[in-house]
Amino acid sequence: MAALAFQALPGFRDFTPRECAVRNYLFETWRSVARRCGYVEYETPIVEDTGLYLKKSGGELSSQLFRFEDQGGRDVTLRPEVTASLARLVAEHQRNFPKPLKWFEIGQCFRYEKPQKGRGREFHQFNVDIFGEAGPAADAELISLAIETMLAFGFVAGDFVVRVSDRNAWISFAEKHGIAEDRIPEFLGIIDKIEREKPEVLEAKLAALSLTVAEVKGFIADPANASPAYTAIKEDLTARGLGEFVELDLSIVRGLAYYTGVVFEVFDSSKSMRAVAGGGRYDTLISTISEGTVDLPATGFAMGDYVIRNLIEETTHAAMQMEVWLQRNFAGCDVYVVVADEEKRAESLKLVTDLRRAGISTDFPLTAAKVGKQFQNAEKAGARFALVVGAEYPELKVKILTSRTEASGTAENAVEWITDLLHQPDGPLLA
């Protein structure tokens, strides 16, 4: 085929039906886990005042923005993340809700990065946050949701681990080692890159703070340096039966400047140790965004759709669970009405309407076609049943395509007996 005149922009995805079904699988799993854990859904705008993002992150993402001037001369940006908007929303509406607020969002974000495997210029993110509770019980509740999400995707112990740290442990360390308060961000930046930095560069950077690599790595290695918050979180999650999924890892500090305490990342433990999700406590952001009008402690995490999808596809048991869901949700219909006699088209249309009205996913040939061709189309559409309307109407025949068996009934009570057949355990109904 000749090249088409237009294509999707680099880093942007076309969700053809199967891709869209995969996306829906992620969304529905995220949504159902959050709902059963008592979170309510919200959504913020995709376009915001650019100042909101600059205020939040001090420009950390500013080189990656889809930023432009709108027709009204406003400096606006496609959201690179959701937390800044969320902080704005919570500052404005929080007094209408009992505390703590447990909120989640599933939304698309945009960053101008080099497209590569596992990263595009748009991605979907599952954002979960708790506001109004400063203690580690909120962090534990949040981390339990991250774990339950992984379990809901079919992952099991050994597939992933949540590595938990606490910036406060490092702040104590810094105080003990005489690091000036205004150099703490620089110090945390060094810790953040400790695994990726060249040894000689790391050594030089630490030396500038009168520290040695051995001191820092020794601190990371000693479990006695766990903060009280970490200990409380581990105890809480152990009571829930989730202790095995959590471990202390003080090398995690997370890059973003706005974190204020406990931070954590969910890692794929089988392969490349990619971070599947990450988050932590950010107790000062609401105050920053609202310019001191509202002060509310907060903790949250985000999980993007690229990494979790790759991980599902690489993990046999999780991939199989997704495939079962896709088979049920990507198909065109459950019942395909075969119009074997064009004289009975009007009757067929009525039957199709009745079945659909009863919630049964039903399709049929829009124009006259050979019966054999119609059966082929029924199979292509993923139908479980072909319901044949022929000269013998109101007698109907149904072919069960999965088992190649046949049944029959009359048009009068077709909805009832087709519903009964569909509930027989040879496969689930379409969602």
200 has binding-site annotation: no
Which residue, 17 or 158, is less far from its own copies as judged by CB? 17
Of 273 and 324, which CB lies nearer to its own copies in the complex structure? 324
The binder of its own copies chosen from 212, 380, 416, 424 (CB under 8 A): 380
Q: Which amino acid is at 93?
A: H
**By the rule CB under 8 A, 372 interacts with its own copies:** no
State how far Cα 188 lies from the chain centre: 28
CB of 409 to its own copies, least distance (A): 20
328 in a labelled binding site: no
* CB distance 122 to 8 below 8 Å: no
Shortest distance, CB of residue 134 to its own copies, whole angstroms?
Answer: 9
114 vs 176, which CB is nearer to its own copies? 114
Q: Is 125 annotated as a binding residue?
A: yes
- 61 scored as a contact of its own copies (CB under 8 A): no
Q: Looking at 153-246, list the stretches that DSSP marks H as alpha helix, in order from N- to C-terminal side.
A: 167-176, 184-192, 199-207, 213-221, 228-239
Which residues on adjacent β-strands are paired with residue 38?
none
Of 396-415, binders to its own copies (CB under 8 A) are none
Question: What's the min distance (Å) between Cβ of 365 and its own copies?
Answer: 9
322 binds its own copies (CB under 8 A): no
Site for its own copies in 96-125 (CB under 8 A): 97-98, 100, 102-103, 108, 110, 112, 122
Q: Which of 141, 126, 171, 167 is nearest to 299 (CA)?
A: 141
Residue 341 Cα distances to 68, 344, 357, 389, angstroms = 60, 6, 23, 7
Tell me if 316 contacts its own copies by CB under 8 A: no
* Nearest distance from C-beta of residue 416 to its own copies, angstroms: 17
| Nearest Cα to Cα of residue 290 among 54, 115, 88 | 88
What is residue 369's three-state secondary structure? coil
> Taking CB under 8 A as the criterion, which residues in 255-294 touch its own copies?
289-291, 293
14 binds its own copies (CB under 8 A): yes
Number of residues interacting with its own copies: please give it, by CB under 8 A.
105
- Which residues inside 164-223 make contact with its own copies, applying CB under 8 A? none
* 89 touches its own copies by CB under 8 A: yes
Q: Is 258 annotated as a binding residue?
A: yes
CB 342 → its own copies: shortest distance, Å? Answer: 12
Options 17, 158, 189, 228; binder of its own copies; rule CB under 8 A:
17
291 Rama class: left (phi>0) / alpha (psi -120 to 50) / beta? left
**Neighbour-count burial of 247, counting CB atoms closer than 10 A to its CB (0-12 exposed, 13-18 middle, 19+ buried):** middle
Shortest Å, Cβ 14 to its own copies? 5
Task: Quote the CA–CA distance of 358 and 87 in Å, as a whole number.
Answer: 43
H/E stretch holding 66 reads: strand 66-69
Q: Give ∠ CA 136-139-141 in degrees, rounded to 5.
A: 110
Residue 165, beta-bridge partner list: 263
259 labeled binding residue: yes
Q: What residues contact residue 398 under an 8 Å CB cut-off, 6+ apart?
A: 385, 386, 387, 388, 406, 407, 408, 409, 418, 421
CA 165 vs CA 15, 226, 229, 261, 280: distances in Å: 37, 8, 9, 8, 9
Residue 301: C-alpha distances to residues 77, 173, 206, 257, 282 (Å): 22, 25, 30, 15, 10
* Of 194, 242, 276, 307, the one binding its own copies by CB under 8 A: 242
Q: Does 306 bind its own copies (CB under 8 A)?
A: no
Contacting its own copies (CB under 8 A), which of 353, 403, 405, 408?
Answer: 353
State yes or no: 83 annotated in a binding site.
Answer: yes
375 contributes a contact to its own copies by CB under 8 A: no
How far apart, in whole angstroms, are the C-alpha atoms of residue 252 and residue 3? 47
Give the nearest distance from C-beta 13 to its own copies in angstroms.
Answer: 7
Q: Which residue among 229, 250, 363, 384 contacts its own copies (CB under 8 A)? A: 363
Are the CB atoms for 25 and 326 separated by under 8 Å? yes
| Residue (11 or 118) nearer to its own copies, CB | 11
Is 82 annotated as ligand-binding?
Answer: yes
Q: Binding marks (x or -) toward its own copies, 330..349, rule CB under 8 A?
A: x-xx-----------xxx-x
Annotated binding site for L-histidine: 81-83, 111, 125, 129, 254, 258-259
Annotated binding site: 81-83, 111, 125, 129, 254, 258-259
